[in-house]
Each structure stands twice: as C-alpha cells, then as structure tokens.
Structure 1
Amino acid sequence: MSASRHIVAKTSASASFSGAAVAGGVLLLAAAIVLIQLGMDQSAKMLLSATAIAATLVYWRLPALSARSPDAEQIDPLTGLTNRRYFHDAGQGMIESVRRRHRGIALMLVDIDRFRAIAGSLGHETGDLLLRHVAKTIRDEAPSDAIVARFEGDCFGCLIPFDPRGRDRVERLAERLAIRLGQPVRLAEQELTPRAAIALTRIDDGTATIDRLVRQADLALIAAKARNDGKPLWFVPAMEEAMAERNAIITDLRAALAQGDIQPRFEAQVDLGTARLTGFEVSGHWEHPSLGTMTAERFMPVAEACGLSGEVSLSLMRQAMAAARDWDPSITLSIPLAASQFQDAWLAQKIIKTLTECGFPAHRLEIEITENALFANLALAQSIVISLKNQGIALALDAFGRGYSSLAHLRALPFDRVRIDPNFIRNMASDPDCCAIVTAIVHLGDSLHLPVAAKGVRDLDIEMRLRDIGCSHGQGALYGPPLDLAQVRQMLAEKRLLAGTTASAPTSPRLAG
C-alpha cells in the first residue's frame, strides 16, 4: 500500500470507527433504559458500566484516528506522505489530544546523509528513488497513530504519541530506522549505502507546541549531522547554546578566511622505531573575537555543514605548504579533508593547483581521508584519489576503526598508510579490548604491507606498547602540543631540519613541550 493510500485508508478507518462508536453507544444506552423500565436494575447497571468502559476506550483511541483528512495540496506528490503544512496543523491537533489524555509526544526528524551529492553525481532520478525508499521505510516502521511527513528536500518528520512510562518505544523505532536506512540498497542500477542523521525530541509535561518540538529536533539534527556516526540523537538543552555558537561561527567564518584569521597548527609525527621526526599533521586554529580560541574540532563541522570546509582546508594547505618549502625534504605534511570534499569532482584539480602555486613537492604531501568519505560515492572518491596518486601525493585512511571499518575499505583505494582512531590508543593501557583491537589493526596492516600510525599517544607506556606490536609511527601529546608557524620553525632550526642544515641525531622521543 502506498503512503498516500495509507493516509486515505487511515482516514476512512477513522470515520468508520467514529460512526460505529456513536451508534454503539446509542444502542447500549437505549438497552439500559429498557432494562430499567422492566425492573432489571442489576442488568441495567452492568450494561451502563460496560458503556462507560467502552466510552473510555473510544476517548483514548478516537483522537489518534480523527485527524482531518489531508487535502490534495497537502500530499507530497513524490513520496505520497503528507507535507509540512499538514504536519504542522494535524500535529498541533495531536498534541492537544494527547495532552488531555496525559500522554507524551515525540518528534523524530530523519535527514539523508549527503543527499545532494548523491543526486548530483548519480542523477535526480536516483535521488527521487532514494527519497521514496526512505519515505516507505519510515512509514513501514512508524506506528499506526504516528503522523509522517516529508518536510522538504531530504528531511522527513514523524510525530509519535506514546505512554510516558514507555518512552523506549520511540528510541527503539529510531534505532531500527538507523539500521534499515544504513543497509545497502540498489536503485536505478546503482548500489547505495545512504545512511541518515536521526534526531529526536520529546515533551511529556503538557507544554508542547509543534513549533517548539520542530525547533528542538532541528537543533538535535544539526548535532547528529556533526557527530556523523549514524546513531539517533536526543535533544538536550545545551544544544541551544551550541546553536548560538554555531550561528556566530557561520556569520564570521567567511570573513575570517578572507582576512587570514584561520591559521595552521602543526602536530608532530614520529617514527616510533627511531624517534625521528617525519612530518606534521596540519589542523586549523582560529582566535574568534567573541568565542575565543577555537581548534578545528570545534569549527570544522560547522564549516562542513555550511559548505565552507573545502575553502578552509585549501587555505590551511596553502599556508602550510608556503611555510614548509625550505624545511628538510624528509619532512611531510598530512592534510585531513572533510568527507564532503570528496563529493567535489574538482577536488584533485584544486589540490594540484595549490601544489603548483606554492611550489611544494607532491611526494611530501599526504591527504587523509576518513571512511565516511567513501560511503556516498565510492566511484567519485576513487577517481579523485587516482588523480592525486598520479601526481605522487600519498593517501592515508584516517581514524581507522571508527564505525564502519572493513578490509573492503582498505582494498577499495590505494592507501599508503592507516591511522588508528585515537580513542583506541588513549584507552590501550586501561582497556584490554582496545589493546587487542590496536594489535589486530597493526597485524592487518602488516598483512597488507601498509604502515600503521597511531594518533593520541600520550605517554611513554603507550608508545612502548605500540612499538612492541609493530606500529610504525605515532603522534600525540607525548611529542608536544600543536605548534604555530613560528614555533615549528624554531623547533626545526634547533634540530637542523631546515634546508641547508645537517640534521641532528634524535635524543628523545619528545620533540617539543
């Protein structure tokens, strides 16, 4: 049954149920009056009790079925779901109904990950098929008393009444959807693994309005997208403050780029066998006028969400390359790129152009790519990577082990190195499972002839463990904090690692700080 037919059927069922309930109530009352007139008081009392119970059941069930039937202009023609206008009006009516019955109400928003990139690269027909697939999946999983709508684009809403004592019903629904929408699906001869960002909010204190629920769910959806792990996320009040910060970042980001306020920081990368400095990972640093010091972890998710991550990355790349031209030729630069950048068909050309303009050797550049960048369009990612590799640029799979790692991902692209998720490294000493995972990843790298590097090395004990299991490189607090341009240049001068100087022998694994 299509979604639109489901709505019509549901409305028809509501009308039938309402008519039957009224007719049944009239008949029961008439029968009770007859019994009283015949002197059968006890039987009349029993019948009146049954009538009261039936009326109570109708009171609880009827509001969920009595939503006004949507007009033709309130049906989304692509998916057959209702549209946002109907959702708003019918949703407010549902809120008022459940409030009278002391029930709770939850709103779930579902947004398809990187939908525009998928539709842009595979065609709008494939995009439409994906929207229909998501709409059907939500409608199939949603309870019969829920209101499901397509808000706009690739965003869907689902309003769900629930018993306040059984709120886990909503959470289980969201988790099922996350799993189903994360499964590969074949559409228009293309196999996709779309994934979705899912946000939830609930109000069970009788003060809900549809506008308040939508605003809260929107905030949670932004956070879910930034977290990018595919897991449902509930709204919390702290997200209001995060939104204020996000708005300030969005407002000032473009001007900061133009003025050169976002500057590179350099985190040392070390050969664990020799303690020799081999390169730096480049990240961003921004002294915001009102928010203070911000690292890339704080502002880059916002930059990615508003389409500026590519400009930020290229700006940092350009500054780092210009500074590193007279460093020792053995020192490399590793540049992490956002997943959304790998949906830009011109990415390779932009990087190669930056290399040429800066006069920086391609073999000293390493691009870091996360597994998330592979999901939306593996074919495009492969094309970009091959173009970069043809220029002599190295490729590292970053944050390996986070979420969706597999041997297939390592074989999909010609990686030169694997970097283990720092969360595993930090917990190696206290968590035997983390230690076992790191060991397994290193052995996997050995079998594939891929060097494995560790991020998040904090102390000598972890460094020793990594060295013992065969991990080739490390970076983290043990080797000093991220350095600005002046600091890294001073360190390189002291180590005689500027061009034209003779490198000194390493004396300690700790390079700075």
Structure 2
Amino acid sequence: MIELPDERGERVRQRIVDLTGKVVLQEAGDLPFPVQMVRQPIVVRGETVAWLEAETTQRPLLVSTGLVAVVSSVLGLLAWLTVRLLPLRVLDQTLLRLSTESARFQAALDNMTQGLCLFDARHRLVVHNRRFVAMFGAPAAGAAASGLLPGHHLGRLFVPPDPQRPDEQDGGTHELADGRVIQISRQAVAGEGWVATFEDVTERKRSGERLSHMARHDALTGLPNRVLFREHMERVLPRLRRGEPLAVLCLDLDGFKGVNDTLGHPAGDELLRAVSRRLRDSTRETDLVARLGGDEFAIVQVGAEQPQSAAALADRLVEALREPFDLQGQWVEIGTSIGVVLADEGMGTADELLRNGDIALYRAKAAGRGTWRLFEPEMDTEIQKRRQAEIDLRRAIAEEQFEVHYQPLIEARGGVLTGFEALLRWHHPERGMISPAEFIPLAEEIGLIRAIGAWVLRKACADAAGWPGHVRIAINLSPVQFVNGHLVQEVEQALASAGLAASRLELEITESVLLQDNDATLGVLHRLHDLGVRISMDDFGTGYSSLSYLRRFPFDKIKIDQSFVRNLGGEKGSIEIIRAVVGLGKALGMNVLAEGVETAEQRGILEVEGCDELQGYLFSQPRPVRDVPAIIAAHPMARDAAARGPLLVVDNAGEGRAEAAPSGGAAARA
C-alpha cells in the first residue's frame, strides 16, 4: 500500500480488515490524537470481501478551530466593549464640546457692550447677558416680555419686531426717566422667536451734542457762529410768507484792531467776550446773536414791528458799545458801526441779507463810524461801483496806469528847493486822473498797496537819480507796507537799482504806522535809519501819541498838518500850535516842515515862527516828472540863496518888513 496525503496535504493512515474485523493489512505509524476514520467496502464480483479503513488526525483542525474561537472571543469582547463604551466616550466628548461652546457663548454674551435678551415664540425670556442685568436689573426666569422687569415702566423697550416688516430691525432710541438714552435693535430668529440688543448711547449722544454745539458755536464767546446763523435763517425765512417781519443787523467794531495790536491778542479776546455779553444783554431772548468771525457780529430779530424795533435795537447797541470796557484794569473805548436790513419775500437767502447788511454797514462806516444805516436799494449801486473800482485798480497795476507827480519842498527863508514829495496819481483810461485820496484806501483794503508802494519806491528813486545832488525825494509809506516784513529790502533794492544815495531818500510815515506794532515797526524804522534814509512824521499833531513817538524814535523831520496851516490868520490857536511844534522840533534837533501853504500870508507867518521848509500850492501843484527840470531851474540852488536879496516877511500883525536872506542855517543844512 502506498502512503498518500489527502488533498489538503495531510498524512492518511490506511488498513484493510476482513469481514470479521481482523486486520489484514495496515500501514505503520501513529497519528496524533484525535483521529478520524473513514470506512469503505472492498467488492469483488459484486460481493463485499473486506473493508478499507482510512484514518487522519484532527489536531490541526482542532488547533485552528481553537484559534478561531479565541480570536472570535477576543473580537467579540472587543466588539462588546466598543459597543458598550464608545457611545459614552463620544457622548462625553460631545458634552465637553458643548460645555466649552456654551462657556464661550456665555463669555461672549457677558462681554458684549450691549445688553441682549432672547425670547421664544411665546415671547418668554430664554437668554440674557450680564450687560442686560447691569442696564435693567435681573429679570425673572422665563419671564414674558410684557412683565420682564416688575416695577419698571420699560414695556416699550421690549416690543417684538413687526412680522409684517421683516426687514425692520431698528427699535429706535428711547430716553429713560433717569436720563439714559437706549438704542434698540430687534431681529426675528428661526423658530419664531426674536432677539433684542440694547445699547446705552447716552455718552455718545452727549458727545455728539457737544461736537454739534462746538461746530455751531464760537469757541471764544460761546455765541452761535456762521453755521448756526445760516441754519437759523433757513428756519425763520419761511415766516416771511406768513407776514412776520424779520430784520438782520450786521455789526463791526470800530477801533478793535488798534486794541488788538497795541494791547495784544489776549486783551482783544477779552474785549470780544465783553462785547458779546453786552450784545446779549441788549437783545431779547428770541433774538439770535451770532459772531461771524473776527470782530463781525450779526443779530436776527424776528416777530417785532419793523422798522421801529430794528432802529431802536441799533440805537441801544451803539450806546452800549460806546461805553468804556475794563480790560484787566485798563479802560478801553471802542464803538460799533451797524448795517440794518429788513427782509421781505424778495430776499430769499441768508447770503442776500448778509450782503445787503454789509452794504449798509459800509455806508455806516463811511458816515463816520459809531452809527448805523438802514439798507436802501441805491446803496447796491454804489457797491457795484466800488467793485468795479477794485477791478479797475487791479487792471491799473497790470497795465501800469499809475504816474508819480512831484511837489517841491522849499526852504522857508532862503527859497531854496530842498526836494520833492512823490505823490501817486492814477490815470484812468475813462475817468482821467484820479486822486490818491480816492483809491489808496481801497488799495490798502484789498491788499494791493504793497505792490503799488514798491513800484512808487522804484519809480521815484529812479527819477530822483537824474536830479541835482542836493535835491531829495520824499515818499509816503502806507501802514500796510510795514506788515509784510519786506520794506527794508524793497528800499535797498530801489536805491541800488537807481544808484541813489540813501541820504537823498526821505520816507514819510503817519502815527497810524506806529500804532500797528510798536516794537516791530520801530525796529524797521531803525534799520531804515541805519541805511542813511531820513524819516519824517507826517500829519504831526493830528494823533494822540505823537509826542511819545518822538521820544522813542529820532525822526529827522516833523510835518505840520495842513489843517493848522489852513486856519492861520483865522482860527484862534493855530499860530500857538505851530509855534509849539516848531519849538519842539528845534529842541529835539528835527527839521519842521509846514504843508498846505497856499497864500503869501501863511508863508510869512510860518517863516517868522521858524519853520524850516514849506510845501503847498503857493509854490507849485504836484507836477509830472517832465516838469521837474523847469521847477528846479526856477528855484535857487543852496549855494546862491544869499544872492537873492531881502525877503518880504509878514509878521503876526500882518505888516511886512524886509529881512536879508540867511547865508547859513536851514539853507546850508539843505
């Protein structure tokens, strides 16, 4: 028999037994326990003669089955444990996550700057935060919106959003009894509930009100400013259609600039505050008093009988501001000029009223200040003429329409020509020659005088450079020319360009120049004096502080104003004033010139009183530069003045006497 493995590769032990069970043939060897036997009959000629038995061991199957059982048990245990324990772990993680999210959510809620409350579909409180409690107190748990805060009348704060208006979120702003202002925002949420946030905007509202007040009020005086003035006008102008009268008064302070410049800006600020108080005291509570800027004020008077009420108010204001002001122990007197305009339906804007008020104000100033004028339509025509004059003046500079005329300065006793005063003239292409008295104030006001003054300096110096060496040129300076700080450089450039010696240039200033800024102006004058330029004070005796300025600055000459010369022989006191001024000049080592000399009598008196130089129509009117050579030729030079013989002198009694012409003195100095 042959040992054959079964189909699985395992060993098989076989044997043959007879019908009695006796082993006939058997393979040797043992099989591991357990053993499984299979028996098959051996048939010969259709008859069973023996049995074939085959045995195989089941140990590998048992081992594998055991392993499978163990593995299955382990897997089953693991499966049981997984089914048993995994949901708990997932649940724990979920709960932890939910707890963390809840804590974060609560932290976010409690750290909101707004109070928050969430209501369900039945308007019961579900969630609220710490800020809500701080704002309104702790609500009852699950309380309905209608009874959320017992004892508080805040029901209007907890009105749900209108379902008919789903986009409506703003619940409005509400002011509480304690003064707090609450801004509410509402929003419907899924599940038919709603959420509301509450923000305390009290401080924001107050800050906004403060900013709004600052934007509409003057910081210095507390009065309404131009912005609030316009807003007020927009509110009251419609009343004109209902027949209510309305008047606007435009005020400008007289003399404020002098106070500001001489006493300083702090004193000027204090004066503006004091003026504001007087304006409020002089008006009704229903009148609006506004500061438009600088020293400009405006008053709106509504609901009063016109023009009587506006006229009465203007009179009160003029009188109130005429009274002296005490500025830290120093008394200051100013005044005011007022333009009054009565509104009607034809004046539709605040700008039109202000414009017409300014026109009337301009007329009040032209009338001498310290008064008021009511706007009349004819005034507008004059203003249009003034505006046209501004346009013409600017064109005159561009087209060089100006001319410089020259009036001689004559030595009083010797008749020697000492120099010329340069006098500006405007040759208008349509109006002809225009006097400086008409256009110089306008040029100063609109800022053109600096350019004009610089041109006059260059032109006059260039002309004088061609005259004899003893002839000086005198040029008037505007106070505005001292403001820009370039006057010294302009003088230096004019002298250098013309090749003119500084000693031949004489600059004339008025007291108003020194009123601007004493220290700065005196500094400029000293720098000019150091160049060798002569400085004279014009219109001496017409101001208030001339003597103090003579003490502070060494003027080379003082000019007696023509108003004193004009009244010689007539008005009592004129000779005494001239005598005093001449004596003062001699004592201070200054030449004295009298201007406006028109008669031989005036000349005689001035010679007797000791004036050094004379100027006026008696000698010549201002003439164009082409006539200067003839004027120079008509007058003796300094060296031959003595050869002219005796002069006719008229004394105080009006009697003539002959005197010899001096050989030295003022003529020699000239």
* TM, length-normalised to structure 1: 0.69
Q: How does 1:169-188 map to 2 (within 5 A)?
A: 170-171=314-315, 173-174=317-318, 177=321, 180=324
Question: SS state of the match for residue 264, structure 1?
Answer: strand
Partner of 1:110: 253
> 1:373 touches 1:381 (CA, 8 Å); kept in 2?
yes
Question: SS state of the match for residue 344, structure 1?
Answer: coil
CA pair 370-224 structure 1, distance change in 2 beyond 3 A = farther
Question: SS state of the match for residue 419, structure 2?
Answer: strand
CA pair 106-423 structure 1, distance change in 2 beyond 3 A = farther
> 2:254 touches 2:334 (CA, 8 Å); kept in 1?
yes
Deviation at 1:224, TM superposition (A): 7.5
Partner of 2:383: 243
Gaps of 5+ in 2: 1-210, 649-670
**1:30-61 CA distance string (max 9 Å, x none):** xxxxxxxxxxxxxxxxxxxxxxxxxxxxxxxx
> 1:267 touches 1:482 (CA, 8 Å); kept in 2?
yes
| Structure in which a larger fraction of residues adopt helix | 1
Question: SS state of the match for residue 477, structure 1?
Answer: coil
Moved more, 486-495 or 202-211: 202-211
Partner of 1:54: none
Deviation at 1:318, TM superposition (A): 1.2
- 2:484 matches 1:344: yes
Question: SS state of the match for residue 292, structure 2?
Answer: strand
- 2:563 matches 1:420: no
Q: 2:419 pairs with 275, 279, 293, which one?
A: 279
Moved more, 353-362 or 436-445: 436-445
Deviation at 1:293, TM superposition (A): 1.6
Deviation at 1:139, TM superposition (A): 2.6
Partner of 1:199: 337
Q: 1:485 pairs with 606, 622, 625, which one?
A: 625
Q: How does 1:6-155 map to 2 (within 5 A)?
A: 72=213, 73-88=215-230, 90=232, 93=236, 106-110=249-253, 127=265, 130-140=268-278, 143-145=282-284, 147-155=288-296
Deviation at 1:240, TM superposition (A): 4.3
> 2:462 touches 2:497 (CA, 8 Å); kept in 1?
no
Amino acid at match of 1:297: A
> 1:114 touches 1:340 (CA, 8 Å); kept in 2?
no
Q: Flag the structure with larger Rg.
A: 2
Partner of 1:303: 443
Question: SS state of the match for residue 219, structure 2?
Answer: coil
Partner of 1:31: none
- 2:297 matches 1:156: yes
Once residues 435 and 329 of structure 1 are traced to their aligned partners in structure 2, the CA distance between those partners, rounded to angstroms, is 34
Once residues 148 and 439 of structure 1 are traced to their aligned partners in structure 2, the CA distance between those partners, rounded to angstroms, is 52
Aligned residues: 425
Once residues 381 and 107 of structure 1 are traced to their aligned partners in structure 2, the CA distance between those partners, rounded to angstroms, is 33
CA pair 468-153 structure 1, distance change in 2 beyond 3 A = same
Deviation at 1:94, TM superposition (A): 10
Partner of 1:449: 589
Moved more, 479-488 or 420-429: 420-429
Once residues 483 and 276 of structure 1 are traced to their aligned partners in structure 2, the CA distance between those partners, rounded to angstroms, is 18
- CA root-mean-square deviation: 4.3
CA pair 344-413 structure 1, distance change in 2 beyond 3 A = farther
Amino acid at match of 2:253: V
Deviation at 1:133, TM superposition (A): 3.2
> 1:220 touches 1:234 (CA, 8 Å); kept in 2?
yes
Partner of 1:291: 431
CA pair 130-147 structure 1, distance change in 2 beyond 3 A = same
CA pair 203-374 structure 1, distance change in 2 beyond 3 A = same
Q: How does 1:348-363 map to 2 (within 5 A)?
A: 348-363=488-503
Once residues 179 and 268 of structure 1 are traced to their aligned partners in structure 2, the CA distance between those partners, rounded to angstroms, is 46
Once residues 245 and 415 of structure 1 are traced to their aligned partners in structure 2, the CA distance between those partners, rounded to angstroms, is 40
Partner of 2:473: 333
> 1:399 touches 1:420 (CA, 8 Å); kept in 2?
yes
Once residues 474 and 415 of structure 1 are traced to their aligned partners in structure 2, the CA distance between those partners, rounded to angstroms, is 18
Once residues 488 and 459 of structure 1 are traced to their aligned partners in structure 2, the CA distance between those partners, rounded to angstroms, is 22
Once residues 241 and 272 of structure 1 are traced to their aligned partners in structure 2, the CA distance between those partners, rounded to angstroms, is 48
Question: SS state of the match for residue 251, structure 2?
Answer: strand
* TM, length-normalised to structure 2: 0.54
Identity of aligned residues (%): 27
CA pair 231-347 structure 1, distance change in 2 beyond 3 A = farther
> 2:503 touches 2:533 (CA, 8 Å); kept in 1?
yes
| Structure in which a larger fraction of residues adopt strand | 2
Partner of 1:402: 542
**1:253-275 CA distance string (max 9 Å, x none):** 33322332211011121121222
